[in-house]
Structures are given as C-alpha cells and as structure tokens.
Amino acid sequence: MARHEVTTRRVLYEIPGMKSVNVEKSTFPGANGEPLPLEIYLPIDPIGDCVVAMVEGYPSSGFEKHMGCTFMEMEWTISMARLIAASGMTAVTHSNREAQPDALALMKHLGATYRKVGLWATSGHGPLALVAASHATCAVLNNPMTKDFCPDTPLFIIRAGKDETPGLNVDLDAFVARALAENKPITLVNYPEAPHSYELSRDTPETRQVLRQGLDFLRAHLL
C-alpha cells in the first residue's frame, strides 16, 4: 500500500540542531511482557534527566494498514521528535500491540528510567494521552480529540480555531470548561486561524510561536 500523503509531511518549524539529533533503536516490555520497538531521540544540550513520550493512540497494525507506514515512520513523528530533542529533552516514539495497555507499559518503563516524564500528543492520539498523562509530570495536547476524563497532571492544550474535524472543538471546549470547573492545572492557547494539523500546512510566525510555547511548557515542568 502506498503511504498516505499526510505521512510525508514534516513539522514546519525547525530549530538549530534538529538534523544532528542521534536516534537509538531500542525496545520496551509491552503490556504482555513481550518487547516492542522504541526509538530514542537523544537531546541536544539536555536540560535534565527527563523524557517526552509521543504516545500512539491507535493499534500499530491498524495504523500501518490505513496509513501505509507506522506511526514511528511518519515524517510528522520524526520531525516532532527531533524538534523536542533539539530543545534539550529526550524524545521517544514507540509501537504497540494494543494502544492503551502498551502506552501504560511504556509510561511504567520510562518512569523507571527517567526522573521526569512528559507527553506530547496530537489529534486522535489525545484520548489515550489523557489516560497516560496520569503517569506523567506534564503533557502537551495539540488540537486533540478528548474524553470526559481529565487528569490532575498539568496540561498545555493548543486549540486550532478553524479545526475542520467534525465535533472536535465542540468536545474540546466542553473538556476545557469541565477542567476549569474542577480547577485542574490546564493552560489553553487558542490559535484562531489554525486548521487541523496546522503545523504541517501553515508556515507562519503564529505556528512557530504556539509550538515554542508547548516546548517551553515541557521544559519548565521537566527541569
């Protein structure tokens, strides 16, 4: 199967050092104890003993069948991981057999290896990230799909004001309202002109600004 066109797009924000980030292939024990692939993007000028997991919210086999490549092979995933690493934080990408059990197994593995664990998730990976965030220091959710559950973990949410995904912003706005009503530690940035996956299509100062804000949020909490 040919790769879906969106899997070939890179994040339109680059900083010095991204191209020189070293990547190590490794494994972690999945929920059933069997090893699963893990890629570690080593940081440039590390800020501390921390890691940012880019969690996959769908079963890897189904994702690959639908998109023509794995989540780890997407140019978005690769370029975002390089951006995080060039910002001073180890980034990891992973595969799974079952999305939620294996994501929680990854969080357990990372929690035993690093002092602090952050998350970065986008779009349909958001609901799983909200569950995994209960085991993290902080999380950035970029134009995410959401669910009723909101963890006590500090969240940074980027809202794409012109997201064209049916119902996404309606649900996101309700999620934010509930989080505020419950006095949860949530930070919201609204990017009024942004469509879904704006970081792949809008090469603008505003795109760079909101992504920098997300990275700064991680750095502040993971230092």
5 belongs to a structural domain: no
For residue 83 the two structure tokens come to 């951006």
pLDDT score at 194 = 97
pLDDT digits (tens, 9 = 90+) for 47-74: 999 999 999 999 999 999 999 999 999 9
pLDDT digits (tens, 9 = 90+) for 182-210: 999 999 999 999 999 999 999 999 999 99
8 belongs to a structural domain: no
Between CA 110 and CA 175, with CA 77 as vertex, the angle to 5 degrees is 75
6 belongs to a structural domain: no
- Average confidence score pLDDT of the chain: 96
36 belongs to a structural domain: yes
Span 113-126, average pLDDT: 97
pLDDT score at 43 = 95
pLDDT at 18 > cutoff 90? yes
pTM for this entry: 0.96
10 belongs to a structural domain: no
pLDDT at 44 > cutoff 90? no
For residue 134, what are the contacts with CB-CB under 8 A and spacing of at least 6?
151, 152, 153
Taking a C-beta distance cutoff of 8 angstroms, is the pair 7, 74 a contact? yes
Secondary structure of residue 173 in the 3-state scheme: helix
For the chain, the domain total comes to 1
pLDDT at 22 > cutoff 90? yes
Q: Are strands 155-160 and 186-191 parallel, antiparallel or unpaired?
A: parallel
pLDDT score at 2 = 86
pLDDT at 130 > cutoff 90? yes
188 belongs to a structural domain: yes
Host domain of residue 213 = 18-222
Span 90-109, average pLDDT: 98
pLDDT at 137 > cutoff 90? yes
Percent of the chain with pLDDT strictly greater than 90: 98
107 belongs to a structural domain: yes
pLDDT at 124 > cutoff 80? yes
Radius of gyration, CA atoms only, the chain: 16
Span 69-90, average pLDDT: 97
CATH number for position 106:
3.40.50.1820
Span 82-91, average pLDDT: 98
pLDDT at 1 > cutoff 80? no
For residue 186 the two structure tokens come to 């949530």
151 belongs to a structural domain: yes
